[in-house]
Amino acid sequence: MRLGFTIQRFNPELDHHPHDEVYRLEVSRGMTVLDALIRIKDEQDGRLTFRYSCRSAICGSCAMTINGSEKLACRTSVRQEWERHGSVTVRPLENLPILKDLAVDMRSFWEKTRAIVPWLLAQDQSVTDPLATPNPYMFHNVDACIMCGACVAACTSHEADPAFLGPAALAKAYRFVADSREGDEARTGRLTALQEPTGIWDCTRCNFCVQVCPKDVQPMEAIIRLRRAAIERGLTTTGGARHVIGFRDLVARYGRLNEALMPLKVVGPDLRRFLHILPLGLRMLFKGKVPSPLHPAIRGVDRVRAILRRSGPRRDVAHLHTKNVGEAEG
């Protein structure tokens, strides 16, 4: 079968803007997108630039945008892409500057990884043998990360705010917060640093990182665990923390959310921020969009309250492996 591949090209020394070029190639059974790129480079255009190394979804070098989604070229089947989309379009990762063709500048990725201090800090002396009680879920699979950058490229918060630490670095931060060997004071310090404006509360929970990660790291779930750990340690003054606590309190009180009270919970005692949201609140009121702050609770709200009290914040739900990570994606 002879198929067309649309590949975005960009040579900063010659081009003002990226442009698409189409290459036609005889596709063989089981061919991956990386196989196709290598063939095109060998046979049609030796200037085509892309990164790869292991060809086995281990090294994380060949992440790129294939038919609009972030994938490892080495484990993406050409045939399945064709069947799913009716075409194969290959572009570099988003949210990172293009160096040439499909190769992007990963410097900001590594800088953010360094920024979260990716090593154990002061060790907890009471933990003498960390392997004595093996716990397969200790890191919730974040240690499976191959640092391919797919999650950062897919991150919608990162797109709107390039300073955001992003899913990969934050998942890495969780790996150290979860490590039983790290000292308690160091852990609190780490979580305090992550309260900064570019930290854990910037995530909008869009699930893109969870969807595209080729190793089922679920970075967003790691960010949620960091938020929970921060709140449990009393780091509750950020708008994000107030949102989570206020939301839970409102549901416990009424059984459902009251949108008239929610903004007040997030804004807290800050008069300037209250005045900022007030005009919208008044327009909503005028349009009949503000529920009564006195609205009655649902039937059985006592049970809802008891559920949210009894289950407690500490228990965690085991990580369910959700993807078959060994196979080419379909």
DSSP 3-state of 309 = helix
Choose between 181 and 283: whose C-beta lies nearer to another protein: 283
DSSP 3-state of 288 = coil
Choose between 49 and 208: whose C-beta lies nearer to another protein: 208
Residues 78-107 that bind another protein (CB under 8 A): 84-85
Choose between 181 and 289: whose C-beta lies nearer to another protein: 289
Query: In 10 A of CB 87, how many CB atoms?
Result: 13
- Report if residue 243 touches another protein, rule: CB under 8 A: yes
Residues 162-191 that bind another protein (CB under 8 A): 164
- Report if residue 325 touches another protein, rule: CB under 8 A: no
- Report if residue 76 touches another protein, rule: CB under 8 A: no
- Report if residue 317 touches another protein, rule: CB under 8 A: yes
Q: How far is CA 81 from CA 15, 41, 188, 200, 208, in A?
A: 29, 20, 45, 34, 19
How many residues touch another protein under the rule CB under 8 A: the total is 74
Bridge partners for 9 per DSSP: 19
Tell me if 78 sits within 8 A of 90, measured CB to CB: no
- Report if residue 312 touches another protein, rule: CB under 8 A: yes
- Report if residue 289 touches another protein, rule: CB under 8 A: yes
- Report if residue 278 touches another protein, rule: CB under 8 A: no
Residue 180 neighbours by CB under 8 Å, 6+ apart:
124, 127, 130, 138
Query: No. of H helices and E strands in the chain?
Result: 13, 7
Choose between 2 and 310: whose C-beta lies nearer to another protein: 310
Name the amino acid, one letter, at 76: T
Q: How far is the CB of 54 from another protein (least distance, A)?
A: 25
- Report if residue 142 touches another protein, rule: CB under 8 A: no
Contacting another protein (CB under 8 A), which of 21, 45, 124, 259?
259
Q: How far is the CB of 281 from another protein (least distance, A)?
A: 10
Residues 16-75 that bind another protein (CB under 8 A): 67-69
- Can you give 160-228 as a three-state secondary structure string? HCCCCCHHHHHHHHHHHHCCCCECHHHHHHHHHHCCCCCCHHHCCCCCHHHHHCCCCCCHHHHHHHHHH
